[in-house]
């Protein structure tokens, strides 16, 4: 964590009462999403993990390529004792030390020709794991974007709540001053003054609690997005939702990253089973070697040592077939089959989880929208009631306590309304996330979107290093599918055979009929005039 970011978190924590002084330009939700999409460490760590998984395909395909190794050695042997010898040209006797010098170099090559489908299955397993990792990245991205949206609307909700609390405290302060003035002239009693003082003290306490909640929301925003929130603009409209919950189920079954991750994991398990079965098949390798060795063979007529250079070259095919492994290969096949069964059941498990998430978020959205409509009507009604009670109190028809109660009901209704707006927006985003459609490309424009396929292409990761690897792969893959299934020696299971429950659907919440607007109230002649209904934003 950088010093500037740590200072930002500290500033967000300490800004209990500072909701003003925001920059002139309002920060939008798209800008917050774009910043988090580019800088969030959790998301960037998952991308790095995906790039690491991409390398497994290259590693698996390396099995088709030849392996070449080189070795060299040099041996020098000398003795401390000298031996005399006669030079045939001069006839003189000389002395020399007997010794041997040997130098050798060897080049080895091994080229797989046929592996019984083992390499092809390994490549399929790696590719399936890459696709599963890409879907896991989509899951992390959806969670991050949902956190950004939640933090954004939480800050806006708490800022509005602080504003309402501050306005309420200011109104109560003025009412307390008016109550004291009227008490001085004998219009009201000491009880009315005490009631106003008590409501003001409660409002100050509620304001402090709301300011602390705002500071926590701002700190959470800075943690998720990467900077302190400024003046936040109103939330934009999210991508449209399906008309019915059944349509949402259908979209989730097709686009949910959780279901797609489980599906690719099952494909990887099937490839692992094929790789285990390939251990029973024969394998053919092309082996080649070249060796050059220089070694002394004695001295010539001049007394100078002579060397012998020996060159060797060999090339051949080596075939092997397993005959007995002590049950190891058969055990590995049975293990792989059970891993495949486990992956198949996990597809259905993730499907149930996703459908449950869609049902819960959809029901929450239905409830939040109904509450929003009801809270809007509540704010309208309580505002009319408050204005009427205030007018009646001025003519002596209502007491100070009646005015305080009406004002408290209005503030509570306004707080419930901003909470309902927040809940409806988050529920809509949660439904999109459960369906698999809460993605950066659907929320922001003009920002480069991370494309895993393009990243692989830009890094220059090829499927094969040599041109002829495609021929070996076709031979290996064709034969791997023609291998017979080895007989299973496991004890028959007592579980029922796997049958996906394709018709299962959770029930959705009933549709709540919106409240009809009440008929207009006609003021009675004896009552004070009622101020017209203000527009509720």
The structure tokens listed for 429 are 């985003």
Residue 430 scores a pLDDT above 90: yes
From 235, 104, 223, select the one nearest 159 (Cα to Cα).
235
Which segment of 15-19, 269-273, 513-517 scores lowest on mean pLDDT? 15-19
Residue 294 scores a pLDDT above 50: yes
What CA–CA distances, in Å, run from 143 to 150, 258, 317, 434, 529? Answer: 10, 12, 54, 10, 53
**Higher model confidence: residue 245 or residue 447?**
245
On whether the CB atoms of residues 529 and 372 are closer than 8 A, the answer is no
Mean pLDDT of 160-167: 90
Write down the pLDDT at residue 196. 84
pLDDT in tens, 46-99: 999 999 999 888 888 888 888 888 988 887 665 555 555 555 556 666 555 555
Q: Measure the CA–CA gap between 473 and 246, rounded to whole angstroms.
A: 44
What CA–CA distances, in Å, run from 233 to 30, 165, 400? Answer: 10, 21, 38
Write down the pLDDT at residue 9. 40
The structure tokens listed for 404 are 């305080």
On whether the CB atoms of residues 526 and 533 are closer than 8 A, the answer is no
Residue 298 scores a pLDDT above 60: no
Q: Which residue has the tokens 């790696």?
A: 126
pLDDT in tens, 21-52: 334 467 899 999 999 999 999 999 999 999 99
**Higher model confidence: residue 438 or residue 407?**
438
On whether the CB atoms of residues 443 and 33 are closer than 8 A, the answer is yes
pLDDT in tens, 188-213: 888 888 888 888 898 899 899 999 99
Residue 153 binned pLDDT confidence (cut-offs 50, 70, 90):
very high
Claim: this prediction has a pTM higher than 0.85? no
Angle between helix 190-225 and 29-39 (nearest 10): 40
**Higher model confidence: residue 437 or residue 456?**
437
Phi, psi of 38 (to 5 degrees): -90, -25
Torsion of CA 449, 453, 459, 465, to 10 degrees: 180
Partners of 74 in beta bridges:
103
Q: Measure the CA–CA gap between 258 and 271, rounded to whole angstroms.
A: 20
From 323, 321, 322, 331, select the one nearest 276 (Cα to Cα).
331
The structure tokens listed for 400 are 């100070």
What CA–CA distances, in Å, run from 449 to 146, 160, 444? Answer: 17, 33, 9
Length of the chain, please? 537
Residue 355 binned pLDDT confidence (cut-offs 50, 70, 90):
very high
pLDDT in tens, 322-346: 888 888 989 999 999 999 999 999 9
The SS3 call for residue 460 is coil
Torsion of CA 336, 339, 344, 350, to 10 degrees: -150
The structure tokens listed for 516 are 């009809």
pLDDT in tens, 480-537: 433 333 333 333 333 434 344 444 555 555 444 444 444 444 444 433 333 333 333 3
Domains annotated on the chain, with CATH = 42-74+101-482 (1.20.1600.10)
Q: Is 412 exposed, middle or buried (0-12, 13-18, 19+ CB in 10 A)?
A: middle
Mean pLDDT of 176-180: 85
Report which DSSP code applies to 65.
Answer: S
Write down the pLDDT at residue 133. 94
Write down the pLDDT at residue 484. 37
Residue 248 scores a pLDDT above 90: yes
Write down the pLDDT at residue 20. 37
């Amino acid at each position: 964590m950088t010093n500037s970011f740590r200072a930002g978190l500290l500033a967000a924590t300490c800004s209990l009462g500072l909701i003003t002084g925001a920059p002139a330009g309002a920060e939008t939700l798209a800008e917050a999403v774009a910043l988090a999409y580019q800088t969030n460490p959790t998301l960037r760590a998952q991308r790095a993990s995906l790039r690491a998984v991409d390398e497994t395909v290259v590693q698996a395909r390396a099995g088709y390529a030849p392996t070449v190794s080189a070795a060299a050695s040099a041996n020098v042997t000398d003795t401390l004792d000298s031996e005399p010898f006669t030079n045939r040209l001069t006839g003189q006797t000389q002395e020399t030390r007997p010794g041997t010098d040997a130098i050798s170099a060897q080049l080895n090559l091994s080229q797989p020709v046929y592996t019984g489908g083992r390499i092809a299955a390994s490549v399929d397993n790696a590719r399936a794991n890459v696709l599963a990792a890409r879907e896991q990245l989509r899951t992390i991205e959806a969670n991050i974007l949902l956190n950004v949206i939640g933090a954004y609307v939480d800050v806006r909700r708490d800022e509005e709540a602080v504003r309402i609390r501050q306005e309420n405290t200011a109104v109560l302060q003025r009412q307390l001053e008016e109550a004291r003035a009227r008490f001085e002239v004998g219009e009201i009693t000491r009880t009315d003054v005490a009631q106003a003082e008590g409501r003001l003290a409660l409002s100050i306490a509620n304001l402090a609690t709301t300011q602390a909640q705002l500071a926590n929301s701002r700190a959470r925003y800075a943690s998720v997005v990467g900077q302190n929130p400024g003046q936040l603009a109103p939330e934009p409209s999210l991508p449209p939702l399906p008309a019915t919950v059944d349509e949402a189920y259908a979209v989730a079954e097709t686009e949910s990253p959780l279901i797609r991750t489980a599906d690719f994991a099952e494909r990887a398990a099937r490839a692992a089973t094929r790789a285990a079965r390939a251990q029973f098949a024969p394998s053919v390798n092309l082996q080649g070697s070249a060796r050059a060795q220089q070694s002394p063979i004695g001295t010539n007529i001049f007394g100078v040592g002579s060397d012998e250079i020996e060159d060797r070259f060999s090339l051949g095919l080596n075939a092997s077939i397993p005959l007995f492994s002590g049950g190891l290969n058969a055990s590995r096949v049975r293990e792989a089959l059970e891993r495949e069964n486990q992956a198949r059941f996990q597809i259905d498990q993730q499907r149930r989880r996703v459908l449950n998430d869609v049902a819960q978020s959809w029901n929450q959205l239905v409830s939040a929208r109904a509450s929003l409509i009801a809270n809007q009507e509540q704010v309208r009604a309580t505002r009319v009631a408050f204005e009427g009670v205030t007018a009646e109190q001025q003519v002596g028809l209502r007491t100070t306590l009646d005015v305080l109660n009406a004002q408290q009901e209005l503030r509570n209704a306004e707080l419930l309304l901003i909470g309902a707006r927040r809940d409806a927006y988050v529920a809509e985003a949660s439904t999109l996330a459960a369906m698999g459609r809460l993605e950066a490309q659907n929320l922001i424009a003009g920002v480069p979107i991370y494309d895993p396929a393009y990243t692989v292409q830009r890094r220059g990761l090829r499927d094969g290093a040599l041109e002829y690897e495609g021929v070996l792969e076709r031979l290996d893959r064709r034969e791997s599918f023609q291998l017979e299934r080895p007989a299973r020696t496991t004890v028959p299971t007592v579980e029922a055979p796997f049958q996906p429950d394709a018709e299962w659907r959770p029930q959705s919440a009933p549709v709540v009929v919106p409240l009809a607007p009440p008929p207009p109230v006609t003021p009675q002649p004896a009552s004070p005039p009622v101020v017209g209904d203000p527009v509720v934003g």
